[in-house]
């Protein structure tokens, strides 16, 4: 069966969106779609992934059955055993299916499969290390709202308290509170009352809270924003220290908030950074190419 076409696909899925890259006979197709973090729903994640895989095949002009697909998924929440088990139980059974955390596929992509350390910073956060002996260690990634320190949702949740205090008269309205209120609004209308704020907070998930992180980053001179961003930098440093106490492995920050948060890192840590070689989806695709042949 070695002459039959095999479709390789890598997926990077989180709380804000998903990227799938499919490869067939040296040709590639990339599809961007909605969230597939397992905490947002296992069945929805599978629907989104299978639709994206179908769209990639359409763009490649092929119709490869799942029995000829090698699929590696790097998904937020894959380190939570009950979500993982439910997700795998719902799998449509492609030829080679491997589920990893998006942190591990990020690590593989960032260091080309070689030993190293990453801290992934997006809607959530997690740190991962791969050692020379093949050992793996992960820190953080306990999920929103309990964990995900320095991630977008973690920042947004804390920022939202500023709006609460302003509406209560516990804080003075300022540029940050107005920007946050606008960021919470829909259809161009800012959240402008306690009732509207309560409605927003009662329905907000990790994805919506993460939309407030750019607002903080756009107001670095505001005392609250500065405090939260400095705290985020310290949280990143704590993860790195737990993953690589001796500080000998290459370290990369990855994800959508990596570059914006770099200026907020403690100086000794920022001097150790290396640029990622590739992305999480590239890591997933690398693992897919190395999957057990069909």
Nearest to 139 by CA among 129, 124, 151: 129
- Are 31 and 88 within one domain? yes
Residue 129 maps to a domain? yes
- Are 33 and 173 within one domain? no
Q: Tell me the three state secondary structure of residue 133.
A: coil
CA 12 – CA 19 distance, rounded (Å): 5
Residues 6+ apart with CB under 8 A from 13: 19, 35, 36, 37, 45, 48, 49, 73, 74, 75, 76, 102
Counting the structural domains of the chain, the total is 2
CA 96 – CA 70 distance, rounded (Å): 5
Rounded to two decimals, the pTM is: 0.80
Residue 90 maps to a domain? yes
Q: For 19-63, write each residue's pLDDT tens digit.
A: 999 999 989 999 999 999 898 899 999 999 999 999 999 999 999
Residues 6+ apart with CB under 8 A from 260: 214, 217
- Are 126 and 192 within one domain? yes
Given a contact cutoff of 8 angstroms between Cβ atoms, the answer to whether 277 and 112 are in contact is: yes
Q: Which pLDDT score, from 0 to 100, does residue 8 have?
A: 96
- Are 185 and 45 within one domain? no
User: How many Å from the N-terminal Cα to the C-terminal Cα in the chain?
Assistant: 8
Q: Which pLDDT score, from 0 to 100, does residue 4 have?
A: 65
CA 112 – CA 105 distance, rounded (Å): 10
Q: Which pLDDT score, from 0 to 100, does residue 271 have?
A: 85
Q: For 206-223, write each residue's pLDDT tens digit.
A: 889 999 999 999 999 999
Using a pLDDT cut of 70, give the percent of the chain over it: 97
Q: Which pLDDT score, from 0 to 100, does residue 282 have?
A: 95
Q: What CATH number corresponds to the domain at position 46?
A: 3.30.420.40
Q: For 150-163, write each residue's pLDDT tens digit.
A: 999 999 999 999 99
Q: Among the listed ranges 40-44, 87-91, 290-294, which one has the minimum average pLDDT value?
A: 290-294
Residue 2 maps to a domain? no
Residue range of the domain that includes 129:
117-275
191: DSSP letter: -
């Amino acid at each position: 069966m070695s002459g039959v076409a095999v479709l390789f696909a890598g997926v990077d899925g989180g709380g804000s969106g998903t990227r799938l890259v499919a490869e067939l006979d040296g040709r590639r197709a990339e599809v961007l779609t909605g969230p597939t973090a397992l905490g947002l729903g296992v069945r929805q994640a599978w629907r989104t992934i299978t639709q994206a895989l179908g769209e990639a095949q359409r763009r490649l002009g092929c119709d490869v059955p799942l029995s000829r697909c090698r699929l590696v998924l790097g998904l937020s929440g894959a380190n939570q055993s009950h979500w993982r088990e439910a997700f795998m139980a719902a799998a449509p059974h492609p030829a080679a299916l491997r589920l990893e955390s998006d942190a591990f596929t990020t690590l593989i992509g960032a260091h080309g499969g070689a030993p190293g350390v990453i801290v992934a910073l997006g809607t959530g956060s997690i740190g991962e290390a791969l050692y020379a002996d093949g050992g793996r260690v992960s820190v953080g990634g306990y999920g929103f709202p309990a964990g995900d320190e320095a991630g977008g949702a973690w920042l947004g949740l804390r920022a939202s308290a500023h709006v609460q205090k302003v509406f209560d008269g516990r804080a003075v309205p300022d540029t940050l509170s107005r920007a946050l209120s606008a960021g919470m609004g829909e259809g161009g209308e800012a959240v402008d009352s306690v009732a509207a704020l309560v409605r927003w907070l009662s329905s907000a998930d990790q994805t919506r809270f993460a939309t407030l992180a750019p607002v903080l980053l756009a107001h670095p001179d505001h005392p609250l924003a500065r405090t939260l961003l400095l705290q985020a930098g310290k949280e990143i440093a704590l993860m790195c220290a737990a993953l690589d106490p001796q500080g000998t492995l290459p370290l990369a920050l990855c994800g959508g908030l990596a570059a914006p948060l770099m200026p907020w890192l403690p100086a000794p840590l920022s001097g150790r950074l290396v640029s990622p070689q590739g992305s999480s989806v590239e890591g997933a695709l690398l693992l897919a190419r190395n999957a057990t042949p069909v």
